[in-house]
């Protein structure tokens, strides 16, 4: 039987966990909302409850697993696994890796959730065969990860690929990071909702008026129904993503971009303006063949990516509890 790992995906909207084997097979998948709390222990207790439900659903005990792989929103201190996710205010310099090691007695690898997503899509999804891949998650935040020549790129502090904080609109909306005009401040789900609220406040007619809660998913649903404001907001998000991708392609000589996350479920309403913007801005000969495609792994992309941190990363030699790499 192939080795199996506990795979955990931690985001601003949801917590997910599964048992994944070395061939990419998923068992016991559980997904729950991320609790709205400022108490770090409450959030960790919810994570443990999600893990317990997964282990029960998969019918396995922690002792039968080889390791725990975790994709978590960033930024973070890598490889220590101390996390400070912008979209999870309960955790600031939270020792996630150490807490999981102490709780389950297994080696733990914690990395950025978008990096894990990129590696998972390279392993089992739409990134297979790419030479220079950017995996991108457009959801509560906008994150990214790079797989170049088959290897996950970490950068100086483990945060390589943070494309959500590329400036695409100088002086634009303020981002959670403190800057103005970041891609995340325009294209993330909560940013779409805030832009809709501003437009409604100016008197713009829209089917979104009176929708509560007004979320990025609600904007995408209204766009699919033909609402002009929602269509405009998704088109703006698509163009902003396309602008960032054209720059990334020039910098990194990318051949493929895989995009997942809740906002990407808008489909052609997002991808058509995105791809048009890439075609308009990517003018160098080596950037013109860039392929931008939707993710293939769906809602399980995060846990497959977390497992890929154990089974696929070139530097994935896991460390026994009590040691540090």
Q: Domain residue spans in the chain?
A: 4-116+300-311, 127-295
The reported pLDDT for the residue numbered 314 is 60
Contact 276, 242 (CB under 8 A): yes
Q: For the segment 300-316, what is each residue's pLDDT rounded down to a tens digit?
A: 999 999 999 999 876 65
Give the largest Cα separation in the chain, rounded. 61
Q: For the segment 176-188, what is each residue's pLDDT rounded down to a tens digit?
A: 899 999 999 999 9
Length of the chain: 325
Instruction: Provide the pLDDT confidence category of residue 318 given band limits of 50, 70 and 90.
Output: very low
Instruction: Provide the pLDDT confidence category of residue 317 given band limits of 50, 70 and 90.
Output: very low
Q: Residue 209: is its pLDDT beyond 80?
A: yes
Q: What percent of the chain has pLDDT over 90?
A: 88
Q: What superfamily does domain 4-116+300-311 belong to in CATH?
A: ATPase, nucleotide binding domain (3.30.420.40)
Instruction: Provide the pLDDT confidence category of residue 322 given band limits of 50, 70 and 90.
Output: very low
The answer to whether the 4-116+300-311 and 127-295 domains have the same CATH topology is yes
How far is residue 87 from each of residues 73, 143, 270, measured CA to CA in Å?
A: 7, 11, 23
The reported pLDDT for the residue numbered 323 is 36
- Tokens standing for residue 170: 């100088």
The reported pLDDT for the residue numbered 2 is 81
Q: For the segment 45-98, what is each residue's pLDDT rounded down to a tens digit?
A: 999 999 999 999 999 999 999 999 999 998 899 999 999 998 899 999 999 999
Cα–Cα dist 193/319, whole Å: 42
Which of 32-36, 127-131, 314-318 is least confident? 314-318
| Partner residues linked to 8 by β-bridges | 17, 70
What is the DSSP code string of 44-104? HHHHHHHHHHHHHHHT--GGG-SEEEEEE-S-EETTTTEE--TT-TT-SSEEHHHHHHHHH
Contact 143, 136 (CB under 8 A): yes
Which of 16-30, 164-178, 219-233, 309-323 is least confident? 309-323
Q: Look at residues 112, 118, 115, 107 and name the one whose alpha carbon lies nearest to residue 66.
A: 107
Residue 2, helix vs strand vs coil: coil
Whether the ω angle into residue 79 lies within 30 degrees of 0, i.e. cis, is yes
The reported pLDDT for the residue numbered 320 is 36
Q: Which residues contact 123 (CB under 8 A, 6 or more apart)?
A: 24, 304, 308, 311, 312
Q: For the segment 217-275, what is each residue's pLDDT rounded down to a tens digit?
A: 899 999 999 999 999 999 999 999 999 999 999 999 999 999 998 899 899 999 999 99
The secondary structure of the chain in percent helix, strand, coil, rounded to multiples of 5, reads 40, 20, 40
Neighbouring C-beta atoms of residue 181, cutoff 10 Å: 17
The reported pLDDT for the residue numbered 265 is 87
Contact 96, 72 (CB under 8 A): yes
Q: What topology is assigned to 127-295 in CATH?
A: Nucleotidyltransferase; domain 5 (3.30.420)
- Tokens standing for residue 259: 């995009």
Pairing verdict, β 256-260 and 151-152? unpaired
How far is residue 53 from each of residues 72, 105, 180, 242, 288, measured CA to CA in Å?
A: 19, 18, 40, 39, 46
Helical packing angle, 228-252 and 268-281, nearest 10°: 40
The reported pLDDT for the residue numbered 12 is 87
């Amino acid at each position: 039987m192939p080795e199996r790992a506990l795979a955990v995906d931690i985001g601003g909207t949801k917590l997910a966990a599964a048992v994944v084997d070395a061939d990419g097979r998923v068992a016991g998948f559980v997904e729950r909302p991320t609790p709205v709390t400022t108490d770090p222990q409450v959030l960790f207790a919810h994570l443990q409850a999600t893990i317990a439900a997964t282990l029960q659903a998969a019918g396995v005990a922690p002792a039968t697993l080889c390791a725990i792989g975790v994709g978590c929103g960033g930024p973070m201190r890598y490889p220590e696994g101390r996390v400070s996710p912008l979209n999870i205010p309960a955790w600031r310099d939270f020792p996630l890796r150490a807490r999981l090691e102490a709780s389950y007695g297994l080696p733990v690898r914690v990395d950025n959730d978008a990096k894990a997503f990129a590696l998972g899509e390279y392993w089992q999804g739409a990134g297979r065969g790419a030479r220079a891949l950017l995996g991108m998650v457009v959801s509560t935040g906008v994150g990214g990860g790079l797989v170049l020549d088959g290897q996950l790129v970490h950068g100086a502090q483990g945060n390589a690929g943070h494309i959500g904080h590329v400036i695409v609109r100088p002086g634009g909306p303020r981002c959670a990071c403190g800057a103005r005009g970041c891609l995340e401040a325009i294209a993330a789900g909560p940013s779409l909702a805030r832009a809709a609220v501003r437009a409604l406040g100016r008197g713009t007619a829209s089917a979104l008026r009176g929708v509560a809660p007004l979320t990025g998913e609600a904007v995408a649903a209204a766009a699919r129904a033909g609402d002009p404001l929602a269509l405009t907001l998704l088109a703006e998000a698509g163009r902003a993503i396309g602008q960032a991708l054209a720059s990334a392609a020039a910098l990194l000589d990318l051949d493929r971009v895989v995009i997942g996350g809740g906002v990407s479920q808008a489909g052609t309403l997002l991808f058509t303006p995105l791809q048009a913007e890439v075609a308009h801005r990517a003018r160098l000969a080596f950037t013109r063949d860039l392929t931008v495609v939707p993710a293939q792994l769906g809602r399980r992309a995060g846990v497959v990516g977390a497992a890929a941190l154990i089974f696929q990363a070139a530097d994935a030699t896991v460390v026994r509890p009590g040691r540090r790499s």
